[in-house]
Amino acid sequence: MPRFVQVFQDTCPTLTFSSGWQGGSSETDASLDRYSQGTYTFTKQADETMTMAFNGTYVGIYGAKRPDHGLYQVELDGKLFPTFDAYSDTPLFNQTLFNATSLDYGLHTIKLINSGSTTLDVDYVAFQGITGKSEEALIPATWQDNEFTFSYFPPSSWRQSARPGTLSASTGTITNDPKATAEFKFKGNFLLASTDEAPQVLTVVDS
């Protein structure tokens, strides 16, 4: 079956953070641009957690190892792994904090736990999924928000983003209307819908 790797940035709502986490800021961290897409989420409180559920055969959590970072644990499907250490006397970025390979394909839940009052941060999480049938090839296709495959209702509630340079192909359609909807018609096994606040959100649909 075709396999694909999906990346969730720390800002993606698929990642559930407990209350003691906050976003990194360039005002307090000159190394913010060393993180993927210039964002990360961190905590300095013990027992704070980040949780994610996914369907796949591989999962990896990525973040930094820095002088003020420390011990943490990971729980996968109820199994608690031995303590890991994110301390490094030299700042290191895009580091693998944890990964698990060769998982049985299906629904899994992973939890990251800060073990003490030292810093722990999350840059992004990646997992490998499976879609389609064994004889099929994975054929990706991309449609931008301004193509005919999208419909916006009501049209008067939608407008072009004022920050096009931060978006794919420098285009994005936005709304502040809680009742507004967007419709995208496609034929396939899965859909990746990307926004500036929740990049690369995965929605699995029936074949």
Could you tell me if 22 and 116 lie in one domain? yes
Could you tell me if 16 and 65 lie in one domain? yes
Report how far Cα 20 is from the mean position of its chain's Cα atoms.
Answer: 19
Could you tell me if 181 and 114 lie in one domain? no
Task: Give the model's pLDDT for residue 6.
Answer: 83
Could you tell me if 13 and 80 lie in one domain? yes
Q: 2-11 pLDDT, tens per residue?
A: 676 788 899 9
Q: Is the pLDDT of residue 153 over 80?
A: yes
Task: Give the chain as a DSSP string.
Answer: --EEEEEEETT-TTSEE-TT-EE--TTT-TTGGGSGGG--EEE-STT-EEEEEEEESEEEEEEEEBTTB-EEEEEETTEEPPPEE-B-SS-EEEEEEEEE-SPPSEEEEEEEEE-SSSBEEE-EEEEEEE-S-TTPPP------TTSTTEEEESGGGEEE-S-GGGSGGG--EEE--TT-EEEE---SSEEEE--SSSTTEEEE---
Indicate whether 177 belongs to any domain: yes
Q: Which of 97, 130, 163 is the last residue of a domain?
A: 130
Could you tell me if 85 and 163 lie in one domain? no
Indicate whether 43 belongs to any domain: yes
Indicate whether 51 belongs to any domain: yes
Task: Give the model's pLDDT for residue 203.
Answer: 41
Structure tokens at 199: 């990049």
- Give the mean pLDDT of the chain: 86
Q: Is the pLDDT of residue 197 over 70?
A: no
Could you tell me if 99 and 185 lie in one domain? no
**pLDDT band, residue 107 (cuts 50/70/90):** very high
Q: How many domains does the chain have?
A: 2
Q: Which of 102, 130, 158 is the last residue of a domain?
A: 130
Indicate whether 113 belongs to any domain: yes
Indicate whether 91 belongs to any domain: yes
Could you tell me if 30 and 107 lie in one domain? yes
pTM, two decimals, is: 0.70
Could you tell me if 77 and 167 lie in one domain? no
Could you tell me if 170 and 86 lie in one domain? no
Could you tell me if 56 and 16 lie in one domain? yes
Could you tell me if 23 and 116 lie in one domain? yes
Could you tell me if 102 and 171 lie in one domain? no
Indicate whether 136 belongs to any domain: no
Indicate whether 99 belongs to any domain: yes
The Cα–Cα gap between 196 and 97 comes to: 25
Find the mean pLDDT for residues 169-186.
85
Indicate whether 114 belongs to any domain: yes
CATH for 29: 2.60.120.260
Task: Give the model's pLDDT for residue 200.
Answer: 40
Contact (CB, 8 A) for 125 and 15: yes
Domain of residue 171 covers 150-204
